[in-house]
Amino acid sequence: MTLSTCIREYVRHRRSLGVQFHGEQVQLSAFLKSVGDIALTAVDAEAVRRYVDGKGPVTNAWFSRFHTVAGFYRFALARDYTTSAPLPPRPPKPPAEFIPYIYSEADVRALLTAADARHEDDWLVLPQTVRTLLLLLYATGLRISEALALTMADVDLREAILTIRETKFYKSRLVPIGTDLVDVLVRHRARQPTKSRRTDAPFLSDRHGRPISRQTAELVFKRVREQAGLERPACRTFRPRLHDFRHTFAMNRLVSWYRQGKNVQRLLPHLSTYLGHCSVKETQRYLCMTSELTMEAGLRFLKYAIPGGSHEDA
Protein backbone atom coordinates (compact mmCIF):
# COMPACT_ATOMS: atom_id res chain seq x y z
CA MET A 1 0.00 0.00 0.00
CA THR A 2 1.31 3.45 -0.88
CA LEU A 3 1.51 6.23 1.67
CA SER A 4 -1.06 8.34 -0.20
CA THR A 5 -3.58 5.50 -0.28
CA CYS A 6 -3.27 4.87 3.42
CA ILE A 7 -3.57 8.57 4.23
CA ARG A 8 -6.77 8.86 2.17
CA GLU A 9 -8.25 5.88 3.98
CA TYR A 10 -7.25 7.34 7.36
CA VAL A 11 -8.83 10.71 6.55
CA ARG A 12 -12.07 9.01 5.46
CA HIS A 13 -12.07 6.99 8.67
CA ARG A 14 -11.62 10.03 10.90
CA ARG A 15 -14.34 11.98 9.11
CA SER A 16 -16.73 9.04 9.37
CA LEU A 17 -16.39 9.51 13.15
CA GLY A 18 -17.64 13.09 12.86
CA VAL A 19 -14.27 14.83 13.01
CA GLN A 20 -13.67 17.61 10.46
CA PHE A 21 -9.93 16.78 10.41
CA HIS A 22 -8.98 19.75 8.23
CA GLY A 23 -5.80 20.74 10.04
CA GLU A 24 -4.62 17.16 10.37
CA GLN A 25 -5.28 16.49 6.68
CA VAL A 26 -3.11 19.48 5.77
CA GLN A 27 -0.34 18.12 7.99
CA LEU A 28 -0.58 14.65 6.46
CA SER A 29 -0.47 16.16 2.97
CA ALA A 30 2.71 17.97 3.97
CA PHE A 31 4.05 14.69 5.39
CA LEU A 32 3.33 12.96 2.07
CA LYS A 33 5.04 15.75 0.14
CA SER A 34 8.08 15.59 2.43
CA VAL A 35 8.48 11.79 2.29
CA GLY A 36 7.21 11.09 -1.22
CA ASP A 37 4.49 8.72 -2.33
CA ILE A 38 6.40 5.57 -1.59
CA ALA A 39 5.28 2.27 -0.08
CA LEU A 40 4.07 2.75 3.50
CA THR A 41 6.50 0.09 4.70
CA ALA A 42 9.41 1.92 3.04
CA VAL A 43 9.04 5.07 5.16
CA ASP A 44 11.93 5.18 7.60
CA ALA A 45 12.50 6.98 10.90
CA GLU A 46 14.86 9.53 9.36
CA ALA A 47 12.22 10.67 6.86
CA VAL A 48 9.59 10.98 9.59
CA ARG A 49 11.97 12.89 11.82
CA ARG A 50 12.88 15.25 8.99
CA TYR A 51 9.19 16.15 8.51
CA VAL A 52 8.36 16.44 12.20
CA ASP A 53 11.41 18.56 13.01
CA GLY A 54 10.73 21.08 10.25
CA LYS A 55 13.14 23.98 9.93
CA GLY A 56 12.52 25.99 13.09
CA PRO A 57 12.90 25.49 16.84
CA VAL A 58 10.81 23.03 18.82
CA THR A 59 7.41 24.62 19.39
CA ASN A 60 3.88 23.34 19.87
CA ALA A 61 3.81 22.86 16.08
CA TRP A 62 6.42 20.09 16.48
CA PHE A 63 4.14 18.20 18.85
CA SER A 64 1.12 18.84 16.63
CA ARG A 65 2.91 17.26 13.65
CA PHE A 66 4.18 14.42 15.82
CA HIS A 67 0.75 13.55 17.25
CA THR A 68 -0.85 13.69 13.80
CA VAL A 69 1.69 11.27 12.34
CA ALA A 70 1.48 9.07 15.45
CA GLY A 71 -2.31 8.86 15.08
CA PHE A 72 -1.89 7.89 11.44
CA TYR A 73 0.51 5.09 12.33
CA ARG A 74 -1.78 3.80 15.09
CA PHE A 75 -4.46 3.47 12.42
CA ALA A 76 -2.06 1.70 10.01
CA LEU A 77 -0.77 -0.70 12.69
CA ALA A 78 -4.28 -1.62 13.83
CA ARG A 79 -5.12 -2.69 10.26
CA ASP A 80 -1.82 -4.51 9.63
CA TYR A 81 -0.86 -2.11 6.84
CA THR A 82 2.58 -1.92 8.44
CA THR A 83 4.40 -3.71 11.24
CA SER A 84 6.23 -0.75 12.77
CA ALA A 85 5.85 2.98 13.36
CA PRO A 86 9.07 4.86 12.49
CA LEU A 87 8.44 7.67 14.99
CA PRO A 88 11.11 9.62 16.89
CA PRO A 89 11.86 7.50 19.99
CA ARG A 90 12.51 10.45 22.28
CA PRO A 91 10.36 13.54 21.78
CA PRO A 92 12.15 16.73 22.83
CA LYS A 93 11.23 18.68 25.94
CA PRO A 94 7.95 20.47 25.27
CA PRO A 95 7.93 24.28 25.19
CA ALA A 96 6.58 26.26 28.12
CA GLU A 97 2.84 25.84 28.60
CA PHE A 98 0.83 28.43 26.73
CA ILE A 99 -1.03 30.83 29.02
CA PRO A 100 -3.87 32.76 27.38
CA TYR A 101 -4.43 36.46 27.95
CA ILE A 102 -7.50 37.17 30.09
CA TYR A 103 -9.00 40.54 29.17
CA SER A 104 -10.07 42.79 32.02
CA GLU A 105 -12.97 45.22 31.68
CA ALA A 106 -10.38 48.01 31.41
CA ASP A 107 -8.69 46.16 28.53
CA VAL A 108 -11.98 45.84 26.66
CA ARG A 109 -12.78 49.53 27.18
CA ALA A 110 -9.32 50.42 25.85
CA LEU A 111 -9.84 48.25 22.76
CA LEU A 112 -13.25 49.80 22.06
CA THR A 113 -11.87 53.30 22.48
CA ALA A 114 -9.05 52.48 20.07
CA ALA A 115 -11.51 51.09 17.51
CA ASP A 116 -13.76 54.15 17.77
CA ALA A 117 -10.81 56.51 17.35
CA ARG A 118 -9.78 55.20 13.95
CA HIS A 119 -10.75 57.01 10.76
CA GLU A 120 -13.20 55.05 8.61
CA ASP A 121 -11.19 55.66 5.42
CA ASP A 122 -8.23 53.75 6.94
CA TRP A 123 -10.22 50.55 7.46
CA LEU A 124 -11.41 47.73 5.24
CA VAL A 125 -13.63 46.92 8.23
CA LEU A 126 -15.51 49.93 9.59
CA PRO A 127 -14.82 50.94 13.22
CA GLN A 128 -18.40 50.24 14.32
CA THR A 129 -18.14 46.71 12.88
CA VAL A 130 -14.89 46.15 14.77
CA ARG A 131 -16.62 47.32 17.97
CA THR A 132 -19.51 44.90 17.35
CA LEU A 133 -17.13 42.00 16.70
CA LEU A 134 -15.15 42.62 19.90
CA LEU A 135 -18.28 42.87 22.05
CA LEU A 136 -19.76 39.77 20.41
CA LEU A 137 -16.65 37.71 21.19
CA TYR A 138 -16.37 39.09 24.72
CA ALA A 139 -20.04 38.42 25.54
CA THR A 140 -20.41 34.96 23.97
CA GLY A 141 -17.02 33.24 23.77
CA LEU A 142 -17.67 32.28 20.15
CA ARG A 143 -14.80 31.03 18.05
CA ILE A 144 -13.68 33.82 15.72
CA SER A 145 -14.61 31.64 12.73
CA GLU A 146 -18.12 31.20 14.16
CA ALA A 147 -18.61 34.93 14.65
CA LEU A 148 -17.43 35.76 11.14
CA ALA A 149 -19.65 33.07 9.60
CA LEU A 150 -22.90 34.45 11.07
CA THR A 151 -25.48 35.51 8.51
CA MET A 152 -28.42 37.83 9.03
CA ALA A 153 -30.67 34.76 9.30
CA ASP A 154 -28.49 33.32 12.07
CA VAL A 155 -29.02 36.34 14.36
CA ASP A 156 -32.52 36.24 15.86
CA LEU A 157 -32.66 39.44 17.89
CA ARG A 158 -36.32 39.04 18.82
CA GLU A 159 -35.65 35.71 20.56
CA ALA A 160 -32.06 36.71 21.55
CA ILE A 161 -30.61 33.57 19.94
CA LEU A 162 -27.62 33.02 17.66
CA THR A 163 -27.57 29.95 15.42
CA ILE A 164 -24.08 28.55 14.99
CA ARG A 165 -24.06 26.22 12.01
CA GLU A 166 -21.90 23.13 11.45
CA THR A 167 -18.66 24.32 12.92
CA LYS A 168 -16.16 22.08 14.68
CA PHE A 169 -17.15 18.38 14.59
CA TYR A 170 -19.96 19.34 12.15
CA LYS A 171 -22.12 20.42 15.07
CA SER A 172 -24.72 23.18 15.10
CA ARG A 173 -25.99 24.83 18.27
CA LEU A 174 -28.14 27.66 19.57
CA VAL A 175 -26.43 30.36 21.66
CA PRO A 176 -28.68 32.56 23.83
CA ILE A 177 -27.44 36.13 24.39
CA GLY A 178 -28.13 38.85 26.97
CA THR A 179 -30.04 42.09 26.56
CA ASP A 180 -26.92 44.28 26.47
CA LEU A 181 -25.49 42.35 23.54
CA VAL A 182 -28.89 42.33 21.82
CA ASP A 183 -28.86 46.15 21.96
CA VAL A 184 -25.38 46.21 20.40
CA LEU A 185 -26.45 43.88 17.59
CA VAL A 186 -29.69 45.78 16.97
CA ARG A 187 -27.72 49.01 16.50
CA HIS A 188 -25.28 47.23 14.20
CA ARG A 189 -28.04 45.79 12.03
CA ALA A 190 -29.82 49.16 11.82
CA ARG A 191 -26.67 50.72 10.34
CA GLN A 192 -26.51 48.22 7.48
CA PRO A 193 -27.76 49.19 4.00
CA THR A 194 -31.06 47.58 3.02
CA LYS A 195 -29.38 45.34 0.43
CA SER A 196 -27.05 44.02 3.15
CA ARG A 197 -29.94 42.83 5.32
CA ARG A 198 -30.99 39.90 3.14
CA THR A 199 -31.09 36.66 5.09
CA ASP A 200 -27.97 35.15 3.48
CA ALA A 201 -25.85 38.30 3.85
CA PRO A 202 -22.98 38.22 6.37
CA PHE A 203 -23.94 39.79 9.68
CA LEU A 204 -20.42 41.19 10.03
CA SER A 205 -19.07 42.45 6.71
CA ASP A 206 -16.34 44.71 5.39
CA ARG A 207 -17.03 48.13 3.92
CA HIS A 208 -17.92 46.50 0.58
CA GLY A 209 -20.50 44.14 2.11
CA ARG A 210 -18.27 41.07 1.81
CA PRO A 211 -17.66 38.48 4.54
CA ILE A 212 -14.67 39.32 6.75
CA SER A 213 -11.84 36.79 6.46
CA ARG A 214 -10.03 35.45 9.50
CA GLN A 215 -6.79 37.02 8.25
CA THR A 216 -8.42 40.45 7.92
CA ALA A 217 -9.96 40.21 11.39
CA GLU A 218 -6.59 39.30 12.93
CA LEU A 219 -4.85 42.18 11.16
CA VAL A 220 -7.48 44.69 12.24
CA PHE A 221 -7.28 43.43 15.82
CA LYS A 222 -3.48 43.75 15.78
CA ARG A 223 -3.82 47.44 14.91
CA VAL A 224 -6.50 48.02 17.54
CA ARG A 225 -4.44 46.21 20.17
CA GLU A 226 -1.39 48.34 19.42
CA GLN A 227 -3.49 51.51 19.52
CA ALA A 228 -4.93 50.43 22.89
CA GLY A 229 -1.45 49.76 24.27
CA LEU A 230 -2.09 46.12 25.17
CA GLU A 231 1.30 44.44 25.18
CA ARG A 232 2.60 41.00 25.97
CA PRO A 233 3.08 40.54 29.74
CA ALA A 234 6.68 40.02 30.77
CA CYS A 235 6.03 36.39 31.75
CA ARG A 236 4.27 35.46 28.48
CA THR A 237 5.53 34.59 25.01
CA PHE A 238 2.37 35.55 23.10
CA ARG A 239 0.59 38.85 22.63
CA PRO A 240 -3.15 39.13 23.35
CA ARG A 241 -5.15 37.40 20.60
CA LEU A 242 -8.72 37.44 19.34
CA HIS A 243 -9.08 33.81 20.45
CA ASP A 244 -8.30 34.87 24.02
CA PHE A 245 -11.78 36.36 24.24
CA ARG A 246 -13.01 32.76 24.33
CA HIS A 247 -10.78 32.02 27.32
CA THR A 248 -11.92 35.27 28.94
CA PHE A 249 -15.59 34.40 28.52
CA ALA A 250 -15.11 30.97 30.13
CA MET A 251 -13.20 32.44 33.06
CA ASN A 252 -15.72 35.23 33.61
CA ARG A 253 -18.55 32.71 33.63
CA LEU A 254 -16.83 30.62 36.31
CA VAL A 255 -16.07 33.66 38.47
CA SER A 256 -19.70 34.76 38.16
CA TRP A 257 -20.98 31.34 39.20
CA TYR A 258 -18.65 31.24 42.19
CA ARG A 259 -19.85 34.67 43.31
CA GLN A 260 -23.45 33.55 42.99
CA GLY A 261 -22.76 30.47 45.10
CA LYS A 262 -23.61 28.11 42.26
CA ASN A 263 -22.54 24.48 42.02
CA VAL A 264 -19.78 25.05 39.47
CA GLN A 265 -19.00 21.37 38.87
CA ARG A 266 -22.63 20.71 38.01
CA LEU A 267 -22.78 23.71 35.68
CA LEU A 268 -19.58 22.95 33.75
CA PRO A 269 -21.39 20.68 31.24
CA HIS A 270 -23.69 23.63 30.44
CA LEU A 271 -20.66 25.80 29.74
CA SER A 272 -19.25 23.06 27.49
CA THR A 273 -22.48 22.92 25.52
CA TYR A 274 -22.61 26.71 25.20
CA LEU A 275 -19.04 26.79 23.86
CA GLY A 276 -19.72 23.97 21.40
CA HIS A 277 -17.52 21.37 23.08
CA CYS A 278 -18.19 17.64 23.07
CA SER A 279 -17.19 17.21 26.71
CA VAL A 280 -16.05 19.04 29.82
CA LYS A 281 -12.50 17.82 29.13
CA GLU A 282 -12.32 20.11 26.08
CA THR A 283 -13.54 23.04 28.17
CA GLN A 284 -10.89 22.59 30.85
CA ARG A 285 -8.14 23.94 28.60
CA TYR A 286 -9.95 27.30 28.64
CA LEU A 287 -10.01 27.49 32.41
CA CYS A 288 -6.64 28.75 33.63
CA MET A 289 -6.41 29.88 37.23
CA THR A 290 -6.38 33.66 37.57
CA SER A 291 -6.04 35.46 40.91
CA GLU A 292 -9.71 36.41 40.74
CA LEU A 293 -10.86 32.86 40.13
CA THR A 294 -8.54 31.57 42.86
CA MET A 295 -10.01 34.04 45.33
CA GLU A 296 -13.60 33.16 44.45
CA ALA A 297 -12.86 29.43 44.65
CA GLY A 298 -11.21 29.98 48.03
CA LEU A 299 -14.22 31.88 49.36
CA ARG A 300 -16.50 29.11 48.14
CA PHE A 301 -14.37 26.53 49.96
CA LEU A 302 -14.51 28.57 53.19
CA LYS A 303 -18.29 28.73 53.01
CA TYR A 304 -18.31 24.95 52.63
CA ALA A 305 -15.70 24.29 55.35
CA ILE A 306 -17.06 26.76 57.92
CA PRO A 307 -20.86 26.88 57.57
CA GLY A 308 -22.41 30.02 58.95
CA GLY A 309 -19.07 31.82 59.26
CA SER A 310 -18.44 35.39 58.09
CA HIS A 311 -16.07 35.59 55.14
CA GLU A 312 -16.52 39.15 54.02
CA ASP A 313 -12.93 40.04 54.92
CA ALA A 314 -11.39 36.87 53.54
| Neighbour order of strands in the sheet with 155-156 | 155-156, 161-164, 173-176
Given 65, 143, 247, 253, which residue is catalytic? 143
Cβ(158)–Cβ(168) under 8 Å?
Answer: no
Given 103, 274, 286, 300, which residue is catalytic? 286
Burial level of 140, CB count in 10 A (0-12/13-18/19+)? Answer: buried
CA distance 68 to 73: 9
Active site (annotated) includes residue 158: no
- HSE at residue 81, side-chain half, CA atoms within 13 A, is 22
Active site (annotated) includes residue 168: yes
Q: b/e string for 159-187 if b means 16 or more Cβ within 10 A?
A: eeebebeebbeeeeeebebeeebbebbee
Instruction: Return the H-helix or E-strand segment holding 276.
Output: none
Given 118, 236, 243, 303, which residue is catalytic? 243
Given 246, 247, 253, 300, which residue is catalytic? 246
CA-nearest of 12, 22, 30, 10 to 73 is 10
Active site (annotated) includes residue 103: no
CA distance 249 to 276: 13
* Encoded amino acid at 84, one letter: S
Active site (annotated) includes residue 222: no
Active site (annotated) includes residue 286: yes
Given 65, 188, 225, 277, which residue is catalytic? 277
DSSP 248-263: HHHHHHHHHHHHTT--
Active site (annotated) includes residue 119: no
CA distance 30 to 32: 5
Given 49, 168, 236, 303, which residue is catalytic? 168
CA distance 130 to 190: 16
Burial level of 95, CB count in 10 A (0-12/13-18/19+)? Answer: middle
Q: Which residues are catalytic?
A: 143, 168, 243, 246, 277, 286
